Structures are given as structure tokens and as C-alpha cells.
Structure 1
Amino acid sequence: MTRCRLCGSTALESVVDLGATPPCESFLAAEQLDAPEQTYPLHLRVCTDCRLAQIPPLITPEETFSEYAYFSSYSSSWVEHARVFVEDAAARLGLGEDSFVVEVASNDGYLLRHVVDRGIRCLGVEPSVNVGAAAREAGVPTHTAFLSPETGAEVRAEHGPADLVVANNVYAHIPDVIGFTKGLRALVADDGWVSIEVQHLLTLIEENQYDTIYHEHFQYYTVASAIRALASGGLALVDVELLPTHGGSLRLWARPEETAGEPSRRVADVLAREKAAGLQELSGYTEFSARVAKVRRDLLRFLVEAAEEGKTVVGYGAPGKGNTLLNHCGIRPDLLAYTVDRNPYKHGRYTPGTRIPILPPERIAADRPDYVLVLPWNLRAELTEQLAYVHEWGGRLVFPIPELSIVEVSR
């Protein structure tokens, strides 16, 4: 019997069932193409008691993150987002040379490099050996470990309590949400701050962003469910910001319960928006599955018609979310010849399940396709600018989410 990982309830209701797919970051080498692939159910449910949306923990973080294909620094907009955050957090919290900042899931140092540049002592806690090594090479101190209460206590004992703990795009990636939250509390000073960025379930539902449901995202938060999750580890939410990143994210500002004080007005405002959208009941979830099915039908109809007309369609990007979309839609190389990615780690590999080749970005200009399907749709502004050159031969961009959009670009 499936139980809620936050409150233990068995009262879980289906939101959308996306079938069974391979883990989204398990890109295949050429020699693996004739071998079988393991797939796992991808079924989002919501707990009717605590309202945490979640999928079953069928894979472990160790399987996904010990060797990881995602390097944050390959997105220039994401690096800039991190720079602005560091600048604003330093001003908000008065961080200086005597401060200590810890980032959990620090990846390749994309954020902490800006902390280093300001002369602030810092440490990354990153489980992936390969990306952690890249961070150290870039001059960012990095400890290779998964965060747990024990890891948090060890880091605190060696380095002291952190004035700021940053956990961006990781709070959804851990099945032991209670243990992870206790680890955050172990890291942060009694009068310190925790900043968490995580995709907002409200925009996921409203904007049909179902491709962000994949096996390394174990849970999906509203502010209401985040408050309960933070409390499980001794933290209290004091402020929230709504961000455009990843199609719509929350920046949660939390502090230890004993020093938190009253939450800001913005917390109450977002809670009211979630309630109005029906996310504190079941009404807000009932139509999502039907809208997901329409996204699938519309994209497949476009790809089939393009193939019948002799048009060429290739992809841009090989993000994890893209593999949910490709597998759910059943897209194979007959409909999408290949995709490209800026990350050389993925070149010469194939997308999991759908076996679509991943090539360097220069291939698009060489082949001059009729359409480019943009899989990281959340970077629409950045990639529309990067791909403006497809106008030279009359090519067009295709965005599948929140609804099918075919765009003519110009320089």
C-alpha cells in the first residue's frame, strides 16, 4: 500500500498517470542500444490529508545522482539567475567576509562561484562525484555527500553553522523529505536563514507542465504543503517569492522555528491563490489529466503531419523534462530525427526510452531543418534568441508546453 511520505496517510488520489518510463537522466551510450531498459511507473498522486503531491520512490537518489548528466553552468540564464540571487541575498541578510554560506546540491558551482567572488566563505554539499569535481576545479569548495541529519551535523561540527543555507531545485529530488529537512536545520545557525527554490505545483497544474513530472522529482509543492514539510524538520516559513524559473517556482525563505517570527503578507497571499485554484481540495486536480492528453495529441498531430509533408523536425535540448514528454508521446526518430544539446557529456548518446540521437548544436545550422522542437520550453526567451539564426532558411521553432506554439523567429 502506498503511503504519503510526509504524513504517512494512505489517502492518496490520482492526479495523472503517465505510464512507465526510464529514469529521465539515464542517457544511453551507443553500445547500450541493443540492451533492455528498466522502466518505472510515473503516476502522480496527491495526499488528501496533507496535500503533498508525490510519485512513489521507485528509484533511489544514489541511482540518479552519484554520476549526473546535468551541469547547471551550461544555461547562461540560470547562471545569471544565481548571480542575482547571491547579490540580493547578500544585501538582504548582510552577508560579508565573516559569513558562511552552504549550498546543498551545489552542482558544478554555478551559484557558489558568485559567493567565492564576493570573498564570502562557503561550501557546496553535492552528491554527484563528476559535477562536484567540476566545481572544485572552478575553485568552489565542495563536499561530496547526500544531505542527511548526520551529514548536516558533521558539516556544522567541522565548519560551523551557516548564516545562509541554499537548496535550489533539490527539495523535490529527495524521497526522505523529513530527513532532508532535518539536515537543513542541522546546517543552519539558530538565527540563520534557509532559502529553497522549487517548482510551484500551482503553475505546473495551470500551465500543463506535466513534463516536469519525472522519477527524480519525488514530490511537488504548494506553499501549503511546503509549510508542513519544513515543520517536519524544525523550520518555519517566513517569506515566499514567486519566480518565473522552470515555468513558475517558489523561493521559500525559512528560519528555525524558535526564531522565525510571523510569516510575511506574501505567504498569506500565495496561500489564498492556491486555495482559489482548488489545490487545498481535490477540485483543482480533476481536469489536469485531460489537459495532459490534449498536449500529447496536439504534438503528435503536428509531428505526423510534418512527416507526411516531407518536413524535417529536430529537437533542441536534452533536458530531463524532455524525456518525460518524448516517452509519454511515444516519439521516436521517425518523427524527431535527433536533438542537440550544449552539454558535451550528452553528445553521441541517446535519449532514454525513445533512443533519439543527441548531437552538438552546430548540427542544426548544417542541416537547416524546417522545424526545431524546443524541449526546455522554460528557457523560451533565452533559446528564442539563441536560435534566431533558423530564420535564415525559413525555419520555425515549436514549443509544446503549455500548448503547441509554432513561432517564426527573426534576428
Structure 2
Amino acid sequence: MTRCRLCGSAALASVVDLGATPPCESFLAADQLDEPEPAYPLHLRVCTDCWLAQIPPLIKPEETFTEYAYFSSYSTSWVEHARTFVADAVQRLALGPGDKGAFVVEVASNDGYLLSHMVDRGIRCLGIEPSVNVGAAARDAGVPTLTEFLSPDTGSAVRAEHGPADLVVANNVYAHIPDVVGFTQGLRALVADDGWVSIEVQHLLTLIEENQYDTIYHEHFQYYTVASAARALASGGLALVDVELLPTHGGSIRLWARPAEAAGEPSRRVADVLAREKAAGLQELSGYTEFSARVAKVRRDLLKFLIEAAERGETVVGYGAPGKGNTLLNHCGIRPDLLPYTVDRNPYKHGRFTPGTRVPILPPEQIAADKPDYVLVLPWNLRAELTEQLSFVHAWGGRLVFPVPELSIVEVASGKGTA
């Protein structure tokens, strides 16, 4: 990487180098285990001119998202998060139902997990989802979905056919596109001149503060503060007017933006978060210099735990096969000798193997069958949801292990969790 993808500056400074890993969602079938597996550098840098944190665009989105392994609806808490967002947005923006009511577009709409709530309310909507398989699942669920990547041309075509959108939603996608300027121009093409854009993306502030380095992977091309996000929005003719701090994904920001000509002054919340980011040193290199050392400690602590458990004859298995888990497994060099398998609720992943580390992925019922001493929870961002789901491990004295922000071993209370 020689130039910042947002401002074009050559002033890029290293934040953390995680070596080379395969793409985090390239799960392997059994017949691929003897084939070569490409790995790509995973090196986070920050532009010291506009302060956008970014990795090199070594993998094209088409290579990841044409056939995709992640289905949002398999996370109960995420579906509930979407339902709450829809209810709040309908009230906040007075979105009405019917052909003459509001029109809502979601970009990267996945399997319809969010727009299904719009459909239930009778609000006209359209999903734009590049992944063929998950887009088909959305259509099967009754959510109108266009299989495309968003570009200025796509945005203009949708607007010409369906009219301008009163609300454009882009949750957990603004980090996934290397052409941040073109994507933002696509958002502007979709939204009405007096409409709204809502974007949810992980907050770089919490990523740094909470050691969330496993959320760095090749699908995520950039990592935003509110300050850098405002600059990115402005590149496409949008202005930031409000921000909410969310607990999702370990700490996210919900950005509310409007076309610049209709935006008005930003809210007090924007100023407050900008002040927090400045106080954390994220507008200067001092805020980034210690991150690499803290990442190294997470790796050492987790490996020490797994090695000592193995030497004691104790069993450790995984729960979940998220993208972040594959960054962690590859960075730590964890293979089946230390983690014989992980489980996942998504049937698409059953019988496959994690990229790079080749850990088998099994159905969740395997945990109850084997009664391991420890369950390493890879989607740590769903800690509350999964602690409840996995409460059944209490029956044989099993414990949960969370690797981030620091190693935490939890004795779960007896409850109604199920595999």
C-alpha cells in the first residue's frame, strides 16, 4: 500500500502487522484440504493526514461476496437489533406504509434479516446484496432483493426504477468496500435530496481500547473513527448530522447522514464523540503506538492457556466460526492439536474447515455429546447471548473462555441454554 484510499496521501504509518492469512470466510471443503491455500498480508496502517485506518485492498470484494458463508439471521441478538432499529427508524423518520408511503433501501442486505421487519410493516423496500446465495435466501423470505454491488451507476439505476429512497441503510458494509468514495457516491445516488442515510460500522476507538484486533481481516478494508467517517461521507456529497454509540460488534457507531445541502448543523453527540476520539490520541500517532504490544499479549495468553490445558489432559473446543475467529486462530497458530473442532449454528459451515488452521466445523450438538472442559467462544462480541445459550455446559462443570479483550475464563450458571 502506497497511498491512502480516501485522501491519496502517502503518509501511512504501521499500526499492527498480523502476518499473512487466508481470507477469513474461505472455509474449506474436505476435498480442498490437499490443495494450495493462498494467504495475504494483514497489515493495518493509518493515514496521518486524514486518519483513516486501512489495510491494502489485496482481495477484490467479488472474490469474497459472490458466494458468502455468513447469514445474519443465525444470530438471535442481531435479528433483535435489526427489529429495534426498524421500529426506531420508522418513528424517527415517520416512515409510512403503502405504495405512496416511504421507500427504504438496504445495501448489503444479506438474507433479509432487517428488511423483513419493513416488509412486515407494509413499507416498500429493496435490498441490494451482492452475494448470490444469501440474496436468494432473502427473496425466498419475501424480501425484494437485487443481486448487485453498489456503485454510483447501480444507485442511479435503482433510483430511476424505484424512485429516491427516504432511508438508505448500510449496516456492517462501510468497512467492506475498497472504493470508499465510489460507494459513498452510490449511497448519495440512492437517497432522496431530503432523505437519510444510516450506517453502522465498528468504531476504531473501541477496537484500539479493547484489543479487538481479530476484527481486522481482509473483508474489512478500513476502520473508522467518527472523524474519518465524516471525511469519507463528505467525499460522496453526504454530511454527518448525528451519531449513536452502540454495543454491537464490541463497540460500533451508527452514523446518520443526509445530502450536504439538506444536512444542517451536526448534533451535540457528534461533537462529544469527536472529543473522545481526540482525547484518546486518535488524531495523532500516540493513540496507536501501544496497540501492537497489547495484541501480542492476547496471543501469548491464549496460547499459554491452550498449551497448559492440553498438558493437563483437559479438552478445549470452540464455539462459532466467525471471520474474527479465523484472524485469531491464524495469528495465534491454533490448529486441531490445541482445538480439535469448533461448532457453528450455520449449516452451511458444517463439514467444512477453518481457513489456514484447518479446524473442523461441526454442529452445535457436538458440545453436549463430548462434554469438554472448556468452550473457547470465538464470537466474543455476542458474549451475553452466547453465555446464555451455552449455560448447559454447567451440567458437567464446563467453563467458557473469552480471548478478547483479555483472556477470561467463566463458570456459567445453570440455565436453559441448549446446544
**TM > 0.5:** yes
The Cα of 1:384 is off from its aligned counterpart by 0.1
The Cα of 1:154 is off from its aligned counterpart by 0.2
Instruction: Indicate which of 335, 360, 367 corresponds to 1:357.
Output: 360
The CA distance in 1 between the partners of 2:413 and 2:82, in whole Å, is: 29
Equivalent residue, structure 1, for 2:54: 54
Structure 2 counterpart of 1:206, one-letter code: E
Q: Give 3-state SS (helix, strand or coil) of 1:173's partner.
A: coil
The CA distance in 2 between the partners of 1:409 and 1:327, in whole Å, is: 28
CA displacement, residues 133-153 of structure 1 (integer Å, 9 cap, x when unaligned): 000000000000000000000
Instruction: Indicate which of 302, 306, 318 corresponds to 1:315.
Output: 318
* Structure 1 unaligned residues grouped into runs of 5+: none
Equivalent residue, structure 1, for 2:417: none
Equivalent residue, structure 2, for 1:288: 291
CA displacement, residues 334-381 of structure 1 (integer Å, 9 cap, x when unaligned): 000100000000000000000000000000000000000000000000
Q: Give 3-state SS (helix, strand or coil) of 1:383's partner.
A: helix
Q: Give 3-state SS (helix, strand or coil) of 2:27's partner.
A: coil
Structure 2 counterpart of 1:384, one-letter code: T
Equivalent residue, structure 2, for 1:141: 144
User: 1:386 and 2:384 equivalent?
Assistant: no
Instruction: Indicate which of 225, 228, 231 corresponds to 2:231.
Output: 228
Equivalent residue, structure 2, for 1:188: 191
The CA distance in 2 between the partners of 1:220 and 1:283, in whole Å, is: 17
Equivalent residue, structure 2, for 1:122: 125
Instruction: Indicate which of 297, 307, 312 corresponds to 1:304.
Output: 307
Instruction: Indicate which of 240, 243, 260 corresponds to 1:240.
Output: 243
Structure 2 counterpart of 1:110, one-letter code: Y
Equivalent residue, structure 1, for 2:28: 28
Structure 1 counterpart of 2:173, one-letter code: V
Instruction: Indicate which of 154, 172, 184 corresponds to 2:157.
Output: 154
Q: Give 3-state SS (helix, strand or coil) of 1:186's partner.
A: helix
User: 1:42 and 2:42 equivalent?
Assistant: yes
Q: Following superposition, which runs of at least 4 residues in structure 1 exceed 6 angstroms of deviation?
A: none
The Cα of 1:2 is off from its aligned counterpart by 1.4
The CA distance in 2 between the partners of 1:337 and 1:406, in whole Å, is: 19
The CA distance in 1 between the partners of 2:36 and 2:326, in whole Å, is: 17
CA displacement, residues 299-340 of structure 1 (integer Å, 9 cap, x when unaligned): 000000000000000000000000000000000000001000
CA displacement, residues 74-95 of structure 1 (integer Å, 9 cap, x when unaligned): 0000000000000000000000
CA displacement, residues 29-61 of structure 1 (integer Å, 9 cap, x when unaligned): 000001110000000000000000000000000
Mapping of residues 262-273 of structure 1, within 5 Å: 262-273=265-276
The CA distance in 1 between the partners of 2:243 and 2:405, in whole Å, is: 24
Equivalent residue, structure 1, for 2:340: 337
The CA distance in 1 between the partners of 2:159 and 2:192, in whole Å, is: 9
The CA distance in 2 between the partners of 1:353 and 1:79, in whole Å, is: 30
Instruction: Indicate which of 266, 277, 281 corresponds to 1:278.
Output: 281
Equivalent residue, structure 2, for 1:178: 181
Equivalent residue, structure 2, for 1:217: 220
The CA distance in 1 between the partners of 2:208 and 2:246, in whole Å, is: 16
The CA distance in 2 between the partners of 1:59 and 1:288, in whole Å, is: 25
The CA distance in 1 between the partners of 2:275 and 2:43, in whole Å, is: 27
Equivalent residue, structure 2, for 1:91: 91
The Cα of 1:410 is off from its aligned counterpart by 1.1
Structure 2 counterpart of 1:123, one-letter code: L
Identical counterparts, % of pairs: 88
The CA distance in 2 between the partners of 1:238 and 1:163, in whole Å, is: 16
The CA distance in 2 between the partners of 1:63 and 1:3, in whole Å, is: 23
User: 1:208 and 2:207 equivalent?
Assistant: no
The CA distance in 2 between the partners of 1:104 and 1:68, in whole Å, is: 15
* Structure 2 unaligned residues grouped into runs of 5+: 415-419
Q: Give 3-state SS (helix, strand or coil) of 1:336's partner.
A: coil
Equivalent residue, structure 2, for 1:168: 171
User: 1:325 and 2:315 equivalent?
Assistant: no
The CA distance in 2 between the partners of 1:118 and 1:244, in whole Å, is: 26
The Cα of 1:409 is off from its aligned counterpart by 0.5
The CA distance in 1 between the partners of 2:123 and 2:177, in whole Å, is: 28
Structure 2 counterpart of 1:37, one-letter code: E
- How many residue pairs get aligned? The number is 411
Structure 1 counterpart of 2:224, one-letter code: Y
The CA distance in 2 between the partners of 1:10 and 1:66, in whole Å, is: 32
Structure 2 counterpart of 1:55, one-letter code: I
User: 1:375 and 2:378 equivalent?
Assistant: yes
Structure 1 counterpart of 2:125, one-letter code: C
